[in-house]
Amino acid sequence: MKPLQELIRPNIRNLKPYSSARDEYKGAAASVFLDANENPYNPPNNRYPDPLQQELKARLAEVKNVSSEQIFLGNGSDEAIDILFRTFCEPGRDNVVAIDPTYGMYQVCADVNDIEYRKVPLDEAFQFSAGKIRAAADQRTKLVFLCSPNNPTGNELRRNEVEKLIQTFDGLVVFDEAYRDFSAAPTLLKRLNDYPNLVVLQTFSKAWGSAAIRLGAAFAAPEIIAVINKVKYPYNVSLPTQKAAMDMLSNRHKVEQWVKTLVEEREILMANFAQLPVTEKVFPSDANFFLARVTNAVEIYNYLVEQGIIIRNRHTLARCENCLRVTVGTQAENNRLIQALKNYKK
């Protein structure tokens, strides 16, 4: 890995971050707050939230077996993705490399930040090779994006290839684990202390059932977290969100039960989907969705919309010709989908 200071954009390296009222105050016993121009009425929402979300990070650190200094929390993992661009990639000069197809936000954030986005196609098994990623990279490649289980393909990337890339690439490797909970493979968080260039993304939006609260996490070496904390908005995670996340962390058995149910339902839904006359192939899944090739993705997608059932048409993506992406719902929802497709007449 290059020295971190060399990877950081020069303006960010030299940035003096905004110092909020609550940053400056460090005393323990204060009870009169006349420092932040807040309204004294309407608790608790009258007060600015903790800019570094320390209570929530302490709890999450315990659950994830990392240290608080290894955690960035943001407005969804989407904020984490964007802040990595803004921290490391110089607009109009630097570039990033990503597997293709994958999660669309990497490219959107690259485009917004005017960063060249280099795609490396996955093979027929939706796997990648570390060598091909490195071949697409150059001295100005700051980030590589890997998503595993990958969206929209649903599969886990081969872990030895992932680690080979982390060990041999001299920029940062962003490893998106949005669907980790649904997979049998372990989290790469275990290797955080071994890899100074690894950034792991996780989210409360999927297994944790909390897409509405907008909370995502980036886990990385404390030096990386410290620099992205400089770039983030001071109060980027609201108090209601911090509270809702604390509640979810106290309800982990519920999350485990949802995951168990959804993985069981996934297997049933995929087996039923494979039997449909319209289905040509159901791709293996380690997530709470699966990709399937059908006879005509556009027509079937439109037919389902007419039936009030919305899935995702992925037909236009690389290697996804005539593919639909189906999220696993409740048993009743899954049955409605299957029934509708049984009734489909071309």
Ligand X SMILES: *Cc1c(COP(=O)(O)O)cnc(C)c1O
Residues forming the site for ligand X (CB under 6 A): 76-78, 103, 147, 151, 176, 178, 203, 205-206, 211, 216
Q: Which residues contact 288 (CB under 8 A, 6 or more apart)?
A: 179, 182, 206, 207, 262, 263, 266, 327, 328
Minimal distance in Å, beta carbon 81 to ligand X? 8
Minimal distance in Å, beta carbon 19 to ligand X? 27
- Choose between 147 and 269: whose C-beta lies nearer to ligand X: 147
Minimal distance in Å, beta carbon 222 to ligand X? 22
- Choose between 77 and 236: whose C-beta lies nearer to ligand X: 77
Minimal distance in Å, beta carbon 104 to ligand X? 9
- Choose between 206 and 293: whose C-beta lies nearer to ligand X: 206
Three-class HEC string of 264-321: HHHHHHHHHHHCCCCEEEECCCCCCEEEEEECCHHHHHHHHHHCCCCCEECCCCCCCC
- Choose between 49 and 216: whose C-beta lies nearer to ligand X: 216
- 340, burial (CB in 10 Å: exposed 0-12, middle 13-18, buried 19+): middle
Which residue of this chain has its Cβ atom nearest to ligand X in the complex? 76
Q: Give the whole-angstrom CA distance, residue 49 versus residue 255.
A: 26
Minimal distance in Å, beta carbon 228 to ligand X? 15
Minimal distance in Å, beta carbon 320 to ligand X? 15
Q: For strands 95-100 and 141-147, give the pairing.
A: parallel
- Choose between 22 and 214: whose C-beta lies nearer to ligand X: 214
> What is the phi-psi region of residue 154: left when phi exceeds 0, alpha when psi lies from -120 to 50, beta otherwise?
left
Structure tokens given for 132: 């091909």
Please say whether the beta carbons of 223 and 244 come within 8 A: no
| Coil, strand or helix at 126 | coil
- Choose between 22 and 86: whose C-beta lies nearer to ligand X: 86
